Amino acid sequence: MSVIVVTGTGSGVGKTVVTAALTALALRRGSAAAVIKLAQTGLTPDRPGDVDEVIRLSGLTTTFELGRFPGRLPPAAAARAAGTPPVSLARAANLARELAESNRLVVVEGNGGLLDRYDEDGATAADLARTLRAQVLVVVRPGGDTVNHTALTLESLAHRGLDLAGIVIGRWPATPDIGDLSSVADLEMLGARPLAGALPEGAGRLDRRAFTETARESLGTTLGGVFDPAAFRQRHSA
């Protein structure tokens, strides 16, 4: 049994595609898996959300969305703006434990970054990971200010005594620039380990079969794939 909390250095880094990749590989191995999306923000109930994307890409059917709010805001603020109860991370923890009894892999996808608030008491994905004693997979974007954002996230993990499952680049560009290339070594230095994977930009537009093969090639062995960080560095050395 394994519970992984997927977080990011912010919004739009590719957490949902990475979540789908993890579950696609679990299903490919014949392992039962489940996904919990803590909160879907910025969408009305009639629109497909992140769990629908996970279903489309991986074929997984055991998925749960614990809250949906129309405002494109962090979860606590989105719930406040909607005038509805916030997501309960206690409920999320109980559900994850229950699912872990019958699934080899349970992936909990957070919103935004590690310390985004889910309720007025300030509960975060970090608190949930600590409650579950789960490893945390950090999804990042390459280049730009990713080094600073990743360093802050990893410091927060270490301060709370949480285990890092790895760092995955969620959207590696087809034509990386010098900033993208130079960030790879910095990310590995910050994590004190090789990259755990790099999903190509546009992976979320693939059909299920192609996506599963891409997931296998893009995630490392600890996550069920065959990604070789040394070969990746060699191909993309700055």
In the residue annotation, 15 being an active-site residue is answered as no
Q: Which of 37, 117, 141, 171 is catalytic?
A: 37
- Residues ≥6 apart with Cβ < 8 Å to 168: 18, 137, 138, 139, 140, 195, 196, 197, 198, 199, 219, 223
The set of catalytic residues is 37
